[in-house]
Structure 1
């Protein structure tokens, strides 16, 4: 069996570059006030965040995508498979919720998530500013498991990754916290409260599992 390298690397670098660019565009436009605060008063933290962002999206993602492309993806078709796309998004949402809850509630593994919570005030680009372990276990593993379950083609998994990436940037926008989301969706306000309070609102970045499963304990938009 031939091992494909160039094709998966092109795909992953396009996905990673778009995610980085989208986050920075939001940073420098609607969230520029908070960006200035980080650049002026929390410069070292901001630089650490950028380093982890680039490392996660451009290097760690590359190794994972090569494995997925060669062993988990259908590389023969290129149509968008709506049911598989939906299944991957749901799988990612459920797995992330479970693991995110665990790293908050189990002291022995809390270190995995601590770096991300140094960012108390959100800006979009920090959505992927997480430790290596968090990125691999909580961000990438749900995609890999979704690929194993549904065996999507490249178009479908790329659309799934882009959807999660865009939403992840959006829910980390402090400027968008004023907008009311639909109750069953994760909103920037809910996720912003999570960063400020370090508890509750564990779902991200799409379906608000907290609101659906534990409505009495969820911080609402209103």
Structure 2
């Protein structure tokens, strides 16, 4: 699938996680496409070790997700993207390009499931959670709010730019401001806030 792409070069292929870490260090790829479940060394630990490299590659994790309990841990290990294994090939290729350009990539269904799992981990009453999320969003400008809603729908920066008639750098600037204003560290947390507020 990847070898047939004119603008992608497959520089290596590993049979297990340990080999993947070794190849990642020696071949220095831009992006590693990582399976969570592998022999010898699983994808979580392999991602963690790649992330410790001086100039780490970006990592996109492939997962069945519903059967995998380690997705949040992999995010913490340094994964830059998550795709379900049944993602159409063209979307996998597109995701690799986006991650290579520095844009985190979570498929909408993965974002939705992550939100549900994070919510389930909290015992805060829904009404209190909604009120707190609405209060956090109240400090945003109208344009920042539009971008936050789009992130909550699982749109990429490029998709947000098209929908709101903005440039991609402008969208990236808005997302960076959202990190500061909402006191979050990633797009999933923005999406959780938007969903908690009942806006998506």
TM-score by length of 1: 0.24
Q: Between Structure 1 and Structure 2, which shows a larger proportion of strand residues?
A: 2
The higher-RCO structure (CA 8 Å, 6+ apart) is 1
TM-score by length of 2: 0.26
